[in-house]
Amino acid sequence: MAPHVLILGFNDTEETELIITLDILRRSGVENQALGKFLQRHEKAEKFLGAICGAPFVFANNGIGKGGAITSFPPEKDEILKKGDYDYHEENVVVSKNIVTSRAPGTAFEFALKLTELLVGKDKADEIGKKLLIIQ
């Protein structure tokens, strides 16, 4: 049985401190059962859930978005499809009901703008995209 961990961040926590720690622990096989339950509660409440790169595998591993469309970092495709009923797409960003997935670090801007559009509105997403020169 793999060890379990919960990583907490606060308002002044550097994002890289969290991400690097999480990434290294995940690669070493450490698990977080509370995360699966958290995701399942949010999906049931129809709240937006987003995952990028290899993280959509966590959704598949916990049955999140089952029966819907999903994408991920390409090497994760087969593992996701082994987990069950998913309609795998190769677009940069895929929205299926309240589940938003994306493929890789190179799609992070598109992913973040799609989340902004869904949460705040298309006008705000376009405004930010233009300021960042992502949208011409």
pLDDT digits (tens, 9 = 90+) for 85-113: 999 999 999 999 999 999 998 999 999 99
Instruction: Decide if 6 is catalytic.
Output: no
Domain 34-131 belongs in CATH node 3.40.190.10: no
Pairing of strands 49-52, 99-102: parallel
Distance CA(52)–CA(62), nearest Å, equals 16
Q: Is the pLDDT of residue 7 over 80?
A: no
pTM: 0.81
- The band of 78, judged by pLDDT with boundaries at 50, 70 and 90, is very high
Domain boundaries, the chain: 1-31, 34-131
- What backbone phi and psi angles, to 5 degrees, belong to 44? -60, -35
**Which one from 49, 51, 52, 53 is the annotated catalytic residue?**
53
Name the helix (H) or strand (E) containing 38.
Answer: helix 33-44
- The band of 1, judged by pLDDT with boundaries at 50, 70 and 90, is low
